[in-house]
Structure 1
Amino acid sequence: MVSIKSIVFVGTLVSAVKASLYGESNQNHTCILEPAVLSCSAQATPDQVDSCCTETYGGLLLSTQFWNTYTGLEAQGQKLPPNSFTLHGLWPDLCNGLYDQYCDLTRQYDPAPSPNTTTGLPNGTVVPPYRGPNIGTFLEPFGRYDLLDWMNKYWINQGGPNHDFWGHEFSKHATCYSTFDLPCYGPEYVEHEDVLDFFQTAIKYYKRLPTWEWLNEAKIVPSNSTTYTLSQIQGQLAKKYGAVPYVGCSGPRYNTTAAGIAANSTDSGRTVISEVWYYMHVVGRPQDGNSIPVNATSPNTSCAKAKGALHYYEPTPGSVQGS
């Protein structure tokens, strides 16, 4: 599954084929001895703090969610959870709002890299497709079958197996955090401990952000007939979260729809709700969960702003778990 964000120009990419962003030692990362520093603050730089204990690389975090209406693999039992947005990922943007991707090709577990170079440009370093055991199997030696069950319920791919999507999210995004860097796990690192750590952290933030429930409280519910206005949706989510999230849309542009043409509208925003991204800074490691909501960077939507322009469609019959 490819997000809208896949086409955004990336930031200043680090050398791609390396197991560490900064080349630090795997010794002496005792974070309880370190000061609690806010990511993207003036103090959050690798020359002032331990980058294993404060996020110094991707300090603007995005907890991202999808609203899909089908998976395409219903016949194989891959369906959507009822009454819930699904987990997309936990992304480490740079503090200027740009981002890097596939920062460590020694931890590349994405079967279909998107984009297929580290910069998204033809002259970027090629990201080779992963051909090994799927990333879900990495959790089995840790005995985390309960985690796998949860992920297969709420971390859902569209058009491909769930585990392919998990491999994409880890490889493209988790490798660009200083705090998930391999040296941070010390000399007794267990293979794929970082994968388990990232999955649990992404889930931690997702579980704090019940988008479907927040919208439902304002009587904004999926419907194949009722339409909504962006300010209703974004305003309700901002009220509950404490900062304005990014609301993403797909589908036709409003000024190409019958309603838009009739209104002679110049609003070229999309018209089908598909994503929400919650922005935050963190104190210390993202793993610790000490986050501070911040407003989404501009532009904070790809949706049409016209009154009643947005569709928040119901799931397709037969696409919901239990159906």
Structure 2
Amino acid sequence: MSVAAGACPEIVQAVTGAAGGQDLPYGADPFTAGARARFAEIFERDVDVLPVSTGSAANALSLAALTPPWGSVLCHRDSHINTDECGAPEFFTNGAKLVALPGDDARIDPDRLRAAATRKAGDVHSVQPSVLSITQATETGALYTPDEIRALAGIAKDAGLRVHMDGARFANAVTTLGCTPAELTWQAGVDVLSFGATKNGGMTADAIVVFDHALTPELSFRAKRAGQLTSKMRFQSAQLDAYLTDGLWLRNAAHANAMAARLGNGLKALPGADLLHAVEANILFCRLPRPVIDHLLAEGFAFYHDRWEPGVCRFVTSFSTTGHDVDTLLEAVRRLTT
């Protein structure tokens, strides 16, 4: 359940539709214009959109435009930018420092942020706090409410910091919280959003959504320099356009969330399975006995395990996960634990 899902049919069809004929390069095509209009619609305001090929590129380029080389990025210690991007944020920012903060369920503790946001400000011997980066949904699948985002962004803005959101699973958060995309981003103080599509039915497209237009020129140059300004951008844009059309992105996320909830409820009823967090999005963490893990792997189940601590497994559901998939896993765990 942690293997990479394929692309949903609507997005594959959109890519096929963009393949015929010829069009202008580098985003000057009608597919890119259409995608940008979709983004403006769902965020209820004019936004700038830069399609990119990966979420790592979206995060690293966004942070590079928000942080000087002598700056620091305040993030959770378990955040993707801190643990899973091989130094890409430091590389693209030309050396800015990631300052890892604690907090339950991979959510940043406001008091620790308040202290870090002004630490050694103005001291030429120290990196300068420059940007807050939060993840929605977090790496444990927990969610920030609009009020929680607003509170963290307020602390950051009071200290003169910008605010970035890693939204690799943004659709899953929107679906569960029942909030508008605007309420979870710019209305709460977010300046730049890394908007994920690949984890929710996309093929090769994520996006940087810019709410502060003053940042767009620098981001555009950085995207080109990083090899993210593609000549055939229409193939990325067609994916994003289809993703946002008729609520596809939210339907995909709602299904993935429902499958995770089904799995979580099933695991909670089994002896020997210890669910570590409430299931709010499409990720769950569970502690299983070592023999159970070994048998599941031997039977062909694919999932991350032992990356966090011994016996801890991560299960991720997707738009393509079926109830049968979930029940098959539950039955296997039941058989091995009873």
TM over 0.5: no
| Shorter-chain TM band | under 0.3
Give the TM-score, by structure 1 length.
0.24
More helix per residue: 1 or 2? Answer: 2
Give the TM-score, by structure 2 length.
0.24
